[in-house]
Structure 1
Amino acid sequence: MADNELELVDQAAKRKKILMLGVVLLVLLGAVGAYFWFAGSTPTPASQSDGGTVTEASQPAAMQGTALYIQMPRPFVFNVAGSNRDRLVQIRVQLMVRGDANQALALRHIPLIEGTLLATFSAASADELITTTGKEELKNRALIDLQNAMLGVVGTVVVAEVLFTGFVMQ
């Protein structure tokens, strides 16, 4: 009788182990399936056949994920020509990116970002920068130029928004 009870306990323990192994295997297969499901749905880089300009198809890559902000290491200081006189401008900039991957890409390419923004900013005139609409146009132009530069280097749109956190013109 004792041997029969031990066999029943052993069989129950074996069933329990097999059931646990099945559950672990099922969870593992579900995790692998979920990984391939989400990894297969990543956006593809925009083709370079259109000259590398930002298109609506490439825009969603910068619009996915949590909004993160990157402070430029130093303010942009440059001269702009005006109708009456030249002016000195200082702009502090932060970039809004979406997701950790875009943040890492932006931090890796800070020199490219600074060069592109400085070229865009210094092409403006003082008469444009006096008005609010001129500042907005400059931000939009800077965003487009920056997205095109990053698209050409990394193959994806990294920056979602250019934000002026300080603007001084003398």
Structure 2
Amino acid sequence: MAEEESLELEVSDEPKSKKKLILFGSIAAVLIVIIAATLWLLLSGDETAAENSGGEAVAEVKASDKREAFYAAMPRPFLFNLPGNGRTRLVEIKVQLMVRGKDDDVLIKKHIPLIEDALLTTFSGADVQKLSTLAGKDELRLLALLNVQNTLQPIIGRKVVEKVLFTGFVMQ
């Protein structure tokens, strides 16, 4: 009789382990499907949203991305003083502008004095505390890009500069 009880216990454990295996397998399958669906929506949703919103602007960006990138270096670095924390800091920034296509490169070189003025105005209004951090430098770079684009927009009629790049940055 003791042997029968032990056999019955062993037989009854097998269906529970099979049920656990099926349960864990189904949970794993559901998680894989959810992860795959989420990745598919995230990766395909960006293209669809970009195509649906601002059709002409997106088409212009896609057309400009196909052209070769040119980098127009400013002829001299920007040197300026910034007051902060009881002492004045000397800052030197070397800048290059990224444009698309040879025609835009020629346009940028034609308007270098105007671009230098816009950049110097932007840089001299910076804060020493912000320039000490990477986020502050990124914010200054974005502000410089917007200022250059807004300065050139009335003259050229479109946004020519795609990026402002800091190729040298020294603060003493």
Q: TM-score range by the shorter chain?
A: 0.5 to 0.7
Partner of 2:113: 111
- Note the C-alpha offset of 1:150: 0.7
Moved over 4 A (4+): 61-64
TM-score (ref. length: structure 1): 0.63
Give the aligned CA root-mean-square deviation in angstroms.
1.8
- Note the C-alpha offset of 1:57: 3.3
TM-score (ref. length: structure 2): 0.63
- Note the C-alpha offset of 1:86: 1.7
- In structure 2, how many angstroms separate the alpha carbons of the residues matched to 1:62 and 1:146? 18
What are the ranges of 5 or more consecutive residues in structure 1 without an aligned counterpart?
Answer: 1-55
Larger Rg belongs to:
2
- Note the C-alpha offset of 1:83: 2.8
- Percent identity between matched residues is 52
- Note the C-alpha offset of 1:62: 5.6
- In structure 2, how many angstroms separate the alpha carbons of the residues matched to 1:96 and 1:157? 12
Q: Pick from 89, 92, 96: which aligns with 2:91?
A: 89
Counterpart of 2:97 in structure 1: which amino acid?
L
**By percentage of residues, which structure has more helix?**
2
Partner of 1:70: 72
Aligned residues: 115
- In structure 2, how many angstroms separate the alpha carbons of the residues matched to 1:57 and 1:121? 29
SS in 2 for 1:156: coil
Paired residues of 1:62 and 1:158 also in contact (CA < 8 A): no
